[in-house]
Amino acid sequence: MVPLTHYLTLGAIMFFIGVWGVLTRRNAVIILLSIELMFNAVNITVVAFSRFLGQYTGQIFAIFVITVAAAEATIGLAIVIALYRGRDSLNVDEINLLKW
Amino acid sequence: MELLFFYIFAGVALLSAVLVVTNKNVLHAALFLILTFFCVAAIYILLRAEFLAAVQVLLYVGAIMALFIFTILLINVMQAQFLRQFHGQRPLAGILVVALLAETLYLLLGDVRGNFPLLQDRPPETAGKAGLEVLAHLLLTDYLLLFEVASVLLLAALIGAVVLARGDLPSVDRR
């Protein structure tokens, strides 16, 4: 029997590894990969709560999170392809047209 | 026994997650992310969410990561590993992440009983088939609207991806 706190700790650490990736990496594809990591961490937390509360709503939420993650990955990668076609670079600190 | 498996899978998941965000090579990062997803699927099985584990492997590993790897191979990012990988805000981001992680863990684990009074110490054992039945019933009754909205969202994502990634078509001569 694994206690709930273990799952919560795992989810929190994994989420913040993803946050660190989003904040520090320059490559746009790796930023998208880190976002997927964060989605998974949230799913672990939600499913763990669903199990320890004894109801299935959390699993439904996890399914919808996966659906939204699929849509997000599709659009994100399409934007990456469009960016690469337009600027020959995926470094997010060079894409600063809208930066004040 | 279950605890041992949890530590193995959680350890591998966290290790490969760190390798995802620190790897120079984008393709290797994507492959390490696949390893993380497999470990997360194993953790779903420990949580008795067998359907979600199957969805995780089929959808994340089979579809989303295949899409990522195709994109990585399509755009020539292999030379990107010789560039600088991190930008200047790294120390600030490190401080922020550590502080937020400490805060989250404190809030989640400081007073679990008090924060979540409905939690059960021993979660009820559910048979796999019964769980799947309940899940399907919930999805098509209580959450039917959400289900339909998700299908519209996927359609919008499909059209958006085609429009964004298509680029400029050669103009058709209409004479």
Task: State the pLDDT confidence band at B173, using cuts at 50, 70 and 90.
Answer: low
Q: Dmax over Cα atoms in chain B, in whole Å? A: 75
Q: What is the pTM of this model?
A: 0.89
Indicate the residue of B17, B85, B131 with minimum beta-carbon distance to A17: B17
* Domain total of chain A: 1
Contacts of B101 in chain A (CB under 8 A): 12-13, 16
Q: List the CATH code of the domain at B1-83.
A: 1.20.120.1200
Among A6, A46, A63, A87, the residue to mutate for chain B (most B Cβ within 10 A): A63
Query: What does the DSSP assignment read for B64-79?
Result: IHHHHHHHHHHTT-GG
Q: Indicate whether A74 belongs to any domain.
A: yes
Q: What is the mean pLDDT of chain B?
A: 85
pLDDT recorded at residue A14: 94
Q: Are B68 and A33 in contact (CB under 8 A)?
A: yes
The CATH number linked to A69 is 1.10.287.3510
pLDDT recorded at residue B127: 56
Query: What does the DSSP assignment read for B73-107?
Result: HHTT-GGGGGS--B-TTHHHHHHHHHHHHHHHHHH
For residue A68, pLDDT over 80 is answered with: yes
Residue-number span of the structural domain to which A43 is assigned? 4-87
> What span, in angstroms and rounded, lies between the C-alpha atoms of B63 and B67?
6
Contacts of A68 in chain B (CB under 8 A): 150, 153
Higher pLDDT residue, A97 or B156?
B156
Q: What is the ipTM of this complex?
A: 0.91
A27 phi/psi in degrees, rounded to 5: -85, 125
pLDDT recorded at residue A96: 79
What is the average pLDDT across B60-69? 91
Q: Dmax over Cα atoms in chain A, in whole Å? A: 53
Name the minimum distance, in Å, from the CA of B174 to any CA of chain A: 27
pLDDT recorded at residue B158: 93
Q: Does A67 contact B154 at a Cβ distance shorter than 8 Å?
A: yes
pLDDT recorded at residue B4: 92
For residue B78, pLDDT over 80 is answered with: no
Least confident of A4-18, B100-114, B152-166: B100-114
Contacts of B77 in chain A (CB under 8 A): 27, 29, 90
Render pLDDT for B27-56 as a digit per residue (tens, 0 to 9): 899 999 999 999 999 999 998 888 899 999
Q: Are B51 and B131 in contact (CB under 8 A)?
A: yes
For residue B156, pLDDT over 70 is answered with: yes
A25 phi/psi in degrees, rounded to 5: -80, 150
Q: Indicate whether A40 belongs to any domain.
A: yes
> What span, in angstroms and rounded, lies between the C-alpha atoms of B23 and B171?
41
Q: Enumerate the CATH 1.20.120.1200 domain ranges in chain B, comma separated.
A: 1-83
pLDDT recorded at residue A62: 93
